């Protein structure tokens, strides 16, 4: 799956990401990869549920995986690595 079929979920309104997913499917993608980290994870689930329930009822969840990313310390912070949870949901049509 090419990286261009990924939608990275951030803090914008859910509809922005829903539209991004629908646009990818309409441009011929068979799979769309929805990724999020930290607090955006709940938002990613919202996006997937809106896409499936309101717009593309034929879209299926092909896979859900979770994991942990280690963030390097930011300038001025202590040297501790911060762990952040991640999720990746593959929608298939």
In the bound state with a second copy, the residue whose beta carbon lies nearer, of 2 and 80, is 80
Cα separation of 58 and 72, whole Å?
40
Q: How near is the Cβ of 28 to a second copy at its closest, in Å?
A: 25
Helices assigned H by DSSP within the chain: 14-26, 40-50
In the bound state with a second copy, the residue whose beta carbon lies nearer, of 20 and 91, is 91
- Residue 76 main-chain phi, psi, to 5 deg: 85, -10
CB distance 23 to 4 below 8 Å:
no
Q: How near is the Cβ of 62 to a second copy at its closest, in Å?
A: 12
In the bound state with a second copy, the residue whose beta carbon lies nearer, of 19 and 45, is 45
Q: How near is the Cβ of 49 to a second copy at its closest, in Å?
A: 5
């Amino acid at each position: 799956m090419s990286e261009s079929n990924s939608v990275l979920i951030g803090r914008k309104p859910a509809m922005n990401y829903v539209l991004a997913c629908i646009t990818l499917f309409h441009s011929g993608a068979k799979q769309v990869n929805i990724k999020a980290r930290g607090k955006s994870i709940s938002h990613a689930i919202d996006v997937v549920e809106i896409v499936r329930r309101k717009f593309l009822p034929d879209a299926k969840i092909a896979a859900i995986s979770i994991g942990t990313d280690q963030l390097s310390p930011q300038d001025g912070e202590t040297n501790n690595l911060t762990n952040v949870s991640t999720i990746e949901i593959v929608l298939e049509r």
